[in-house]
Structure 1
Amino acid sequence: RMERTDGGEPVEVLGDIEIVDDFVAAFNEAPPDLLVTSGRTNEERWMLGYLFDGGRVVVGEAGDLRGRLLDGTEVPIRNPGPMAMLGAGSCLLGFIPGSEVLPLAFIHDAGARQIVGYASTTWHGAGGWDVYRRFLDEPGRGTLSEAAWLAQQELIRRFAAEYPGVPEVSTEGFDEREVFEFQLAVAEATGVDRREDRFEDLAGLLWDRDAIVLLGDPAWPVRLKTSPLPWTSVITREGDRLLIDLEVHAELVDGPTPIVVLPERIVPGKVVEGEGLGVVSTPDIVFLPGLRTRPPGTSFRVELDAPLERGPVRAVEIDVETRRRVLEQVAPAWRPRLRTVFADAGGNETELLRAIREVTPSRRDSMAFLIANMPPADRRIMTADALLENVELAHDSFDASPWRVGVPESVFQEAVLPYAHINERRDDWRADFVSRFRAAAHAAGTQADAVRRLNRLVYETFDVTYDANKRLKNEQSPYQSIDQHCASCTGLSILLANACRAAGIPARIAGIPEWPTGDNHTWVEVYDPIDGRWHWIEALGGGAYDEGWWVGKVRGLAAEDSNEARYRIWAASWSRPAGVPNRFPLWWLGSDEDPIPGIDRTTDYAGAGD
């Protein structure tokens, strides 16, 4: 604290200077969800205290995370996570020149799954502190990664607004500590003297624009619990006009520039109403810098000429005749659905058409099924090569399976053919898994033995264990789990189900979205043609069919036949029936995300074991 006596100069009064010991104890005993840092930092150490040295967080000789006391003693820092970090004012927290650096130590030893920080030194701080204000002062409005992206967009807008006509200078060619050299280059390129007051912002905005980075998975939804916001907006549309109704609830002058994130990309046009708010529109967002000076309790409308962007320009324009010839190659029942998919695919239609055209003719119906039931997001990203490899290998493995006889075609299509289960990231896993697991599975005496063998082999092969705390997300893709060497029950189940599919064994994931007491659970269902039934198996459980620690609990809950979808038992499906399909109500899915088709299995589990 600062004290002043009899009008004299302020004097800093310190208590216990050494604070790192308290930090380490608190961090290890009560791991945080979010760690915000400032102060003196580089890629190897973080000094606790700005005007004094209260101890340091460092990278130890073994590359692990440690707290270093003032006497040189080091104590380990361990946190299972997951947590996020925001280096709002910390230099070099996002800089990774080698393997033994602070950000990697926080990832490995402290459970950090997302880090926003500087990949350089910083003297300006506009970027990091804007991320801080957007995320913490507007709780629940967006995720941490969204706040980081918006802060960078605001740096670009500010430079254009405050220095019109001034040439931009890139940080390319300057290393992470060459601040002075960069400032000289800015002064030379712009003609602005370094001694002018406006020079600091001029150079600082350009430096921070290029220095803020996000480490980790940007899709991991780090979000604060929603609280009353200082301003709110409602977006509506009337033809090509975009209407944004705004309400101010608190003082905004010290907060971040309000930015409205648009639900659909637009072609920015003129401002019809609301020019006084300093509106700047882009295809994705609308800046409202003038809203910061408006008092609480006021409301405004912004009206823009903003027709919707019509999607990416196709690399190859598809003529009607080409589409017609491809559709003639598939069964008539698929054609209406495929036309809808093609219309939604934008520039990726060429890939989907090529996949149908080039697939082995006897397997074309499978390709039509796969594409016709694609989730909307996949229609725009899945390549022909990926789809062709997936279909051909799925058929090859199934045709070679000793247990294929008696498996209905519909079961093959739903539980062997698909390349994904729910909303996990799309990985090209099948060829790798076929080479690793198919022969071992087919050497088993029965399908049940093959599944048990895979339930051990897949996790031993990739050294993946259960850890619901350190894993990045619930719905991890195969290689996300493999790269982290851990997963929750959902990620483990996806690994096992994919190993089964690679061997031509029909498998799908199933589970209960939520126990009445909280949490959820996911397992694998395998179709066995011997009795024509779906059997469940616990991923990484080591047991046989229809065993698991949760069986009695699920059976009792299923017998209650709850009207709430989250308390019912579901299996994931690939096909999307007409109308409103059943939705597998995964708790992490937002209402605006692609629904996961689901099969209600509650009745089957209620009678299991009878």
Structure 2
Amino acid sequence: MEVSCMYAVVCSQSTHKGWTKALKTLLLKYELKWPDRVNEVIYVDGDLFSALPQLSKLKPTYTCFLAHHSECNKKFVQDIHKLTRGIDHTTPYTDTIWGVLTGWEEDDCLCILQQEPLTINRVTGNCPIPLDKFSSGVSYSEIEQTVAWRKTANGEVAQESCPADVTESFILEIGAAHSEEKGVDMIITSAHATESVLNLGYCFSSGKLSCIDGHIHGQSLDGRLHKLSHQHNTPKVLSAAGNCLMGYIRDRDSMALAWMHSAGVSQMVGYVVPTWYGYGGWGVHKYFINNPGKMTFAEAYFANQQSLLAKLESLKTPKPVIEKHEDVYKKKFGAENIDDTHSHDLSGLSYDEDTTVFYGDPAWEARLALKPELWDYSSAVTALKPSEEDGWDKSWSYWEFTVETLRPGRWDCPVADDKTTSPGRPPIYVFPSRASKAKLINGDGIVTCSFVMMVLQGSFVAGQFHRVQFATQN
């Protein structure tokens, strides 16, 4: 499909005046890449929705919300979700790949904008990680104390022992200089957290990470502090899929800002609320990690949001009753028995709908090293030639989205925060640039001006084929 991206930079009047260097750098970067396709949208302070008329006219492929950290509260994130679904009011789906570019200080934005595209090879985290998808890495268990798994660049994944308190090891793993077995390109976190503290253990006492003056510090149980060495020259991405509030910027001493300022995190996904359902966080890995190299981090976040919205739409029609979130939360953690899966999922999906955030430049490319031999399925979009017999309008371009399964798997997950089912999400093709019009021609799928998704559920075996035909206008 033809690539002719429209890139929008959205900022408040205050940020427009205060962060001029970041704004000019961002505009210039994409004006050089897509000449005459970059637009600035300035909105009235505190009224993000005043940007909607201009965005609806521009219909950008990418939208970067440049924002001073003081603007990045929970309401701001929730309004972004609603705003980006309202650019095209005819569908319930997100109409642009978006990200929030912010930092502890303006220079953090400048540093992020200077980074070259990132190929992710090495990973670390305090939770289960499919290390086979990476070239190397180490994951520390949040459930079993002293248990870790490691994959070296030349070896298989193996379980090993680790210190009972992994705080120092975790800091060293993140902060090490890049070499074959040191330094990381991606961090994945879980366990208990707030906007200012990350505990490294979930079922046992361990140390914690916190932020002091914009820098990540580890504090062991014995009180020792371990400051993370400054990492601006080693860009990385962070998925706080299993943490409450890690994406919430309460003030300048919030973890999200410290990750960007001191840990070299150029893109990040996290919750701005306590998390209990998990679809919006863990699901990003289904697209980003399970089929390594197929999508960028920003595309994977976008894709998972569309999968969430599609599932939510499918549940609304037959039974629109949504339980109070706090009631479902109690059931989730054993206070009551869950007796209505439909209501539980409807409540959980609606809770996750607007509560995750993607930080960073959405057009910056960060993806896993390409490993097609590990994919669950291959996919392709090919052009179709309209014929008079079909009665197709020649003013449209016609396409076929095909999928071939390469190994046994399952399209959907038994639980929302599933970490093992693969691929666990329906196939989706995110358009390289947004179409002005789009429609479904044949097959069971969802088509918008930004993507085509197959509607598939259940298990599959290798060698199955699926097809959807659609049309676009530019």
| Equivalent in 394, 398, 401 of residue 244 of structure 1 | 401
1:57 corresponding residue in structure 2? 209
SS for the counterpart of 2:303 is helix
User: Could you say if the C-alpha distance between residues 90 and 297 of structure 1 is closer, same or farther in structure 2, counting changes exceeding 3 Å?
Assistant: same
Q: Quick one: which of 171, 175, 190 aligns to 1:38?
A: 190
SS of residue paired to 1:131? helix
Which residue matches 2:452?
A: 286
Alpha-carbon distance, 1:252 to partner: 3.1
Letter in 2 for 1:198: H
RMSD across aligned C-alpha pairs, in angstroms? 2.8
Return the structure number with greater relative CO, CA threshold 8 A, min gap 6. Answer: 2
- Tell me if the contact between 1:17 and 1:52 (Cα under 8 Å) persists in the aligned partners: no
**Are 2:379 and 1:233 equivalent residues in the alignment?**
yes
**Cα pair 1:82 1:112 within 8 Å, conserved:** yes
- Provide the secondary structure at the position in 1 that maps to 2:268: strand
Cα offset for 1:195?
5.0
CA distance in 2, matches of 1:169, 1:210: 16
Find 1:143's aligned residue among 293, 296, 303: 296
Q: Deviations over 1:311-342 (max 9, x none)?
A: xxxxxxxxxxxxxxxxxxxxxxxxxxxxxxxx
Matched position secondary structure for 1:67 = strand
1:290 and 1:41 map into 2 onto residues whose CA distance is 35
* Matched letter for residue 244 of structure 2: C
Shift of 1:232: 1.9
Q: Conserved in 2, the CA contact under 8 Å of 1:44 and 1:102? A: yes
> In structure 1, which of residues 189, 205, 222 is the aligned counterpart of residue 366 of structure 2?
222
User: Which residue does 1:180 correspond to in 2?
Assistant: 326
Kindly provide the CA deviation profile for residues 135-183 of structure 1, in whole angstroms up to 9, marking residues without a partner as x.
111111111011111111111100111332555989xxxxxxx952897
2:463 paired with 1:309: no
- Aligned-pair identity (%): 27
Q: Taking structure 1 as reference, are residues 14 and 96 closer, same or farther at Cα in structure 2, changes over 3 Å only?
A: closer
Q: String of CA shifts for 1:206-250, please: whole Å, max 9, x gaps.
A: 111111101122222111111113222222232344222321112
Aligned to 2:280: 127
Cα pair 1:31 1:79 within 8 Å, conserved: no
Which structure: larger Rg?
1
Please say if 1:101 is aligned against 2:254: yes
Show the counterpart of 1:73: 224
Q: In the alignment, is the contact (CA less than 8 A) between 1:24 and 1:67 conserved in 2?
A: yes
**Deviation at residue 46 of structure 1 after TM alignment:** 0.7
Give ranges in structure 2 of 5+ residues lacking alignment. 1-142, 147-162, 177-181, 331-336, 387-395, 411-420
1:83 paired to 2:253: no
Q: Equivalent residue for 1:265?
A: 435
Alignment match of 1:196 (pick from 311, 330, 340): 340
Alpha-carbon distance in structure 2 between the residues aligned to 1:206 and 1:45: 26
Q: Matches of 2:259 and 2:307 in 1, distance apart?
A: 28
CA distance in 1, matches of 2:340, 2:404: 38
Q: Deviations over 1:550-587 (max 9, x none)?
A: xxxxxxxxxxxxxxxxxxxxxxxxxxxxxxxxxxxxxx
TM-score, length of structure 2 as denominator length? 0.54
Q: How does 1:368-517 map to 2 (within 5 A)?
A: none
Taking a change above 3 Å as real, the CA distance of residues 36 and 168 of structure 1, as seen in their structure-2 partners, is: farther
Aligned positions, number? 277
Native 8 Å contact 1:94 1:116 kept in 2: yes
After superposition, the Cα gap between the structure-2 partners of 1:197 and 1:287, relative to the gap in structure 1 and judged at 3 Å, is same
User: Alpha-carbon deviation of 1:204?
Assistant: 0.9
Q: Shift of residue 69 of structure 1?
A: 0.6
List per-residue Cα deviations over 1:430-488 (Å, max 9, x = no partner). Answer: xxxxxxxxxxxxxxxxxxxxxxxxxxxxxxxxxxxxxxxxxxxxxxxxxxxxxxxxxxx
* Counterpart secondary structure, 2:367: coil
* Contact 1:27/1:79, CA 8 A, preserved across alignment: no
Q: Which amino acid aligns with 1:258?
A: P
Out of 149, 165, 170, the position equivalent to 1:23 is 170
- TM (norm. structure 1) is 0.42
Q: 2:467 is paired with a residue of what secondary structure? A: strand
| SS of alignment partner, residue 366 of structure 2 | coil
Structure 1, gaps ≥5 residues long: 1-11, 171-177, 185-192, 311-610
Q: Aligned in 2, Cα 1:169/1:95: closer, same or farther, shift over 3 Å?
A: farther
Q: What SS does structure 1 have at the residue aligned with 2:287?
A: helix
Q: Any idea what SS the aligned residue of 1:242 has?
A: strand
Provide Cα deviations, 1:372-420, integer angstroms capped at 9, x if missing partner: xxxxxxxxxxxxxxxxxxxxxxxxxxxxxxxxxxxxxxxxxxxxxxxxx
| Higher strand content, 1 or 2 | 2
Q: What is the deviation of 1:194?
A: 7.7
Contact 2:440 2:446 in 1 (8 A): no
Structure with greater helix percent: 1
Cα offset for 1:122? Answer: 0.7
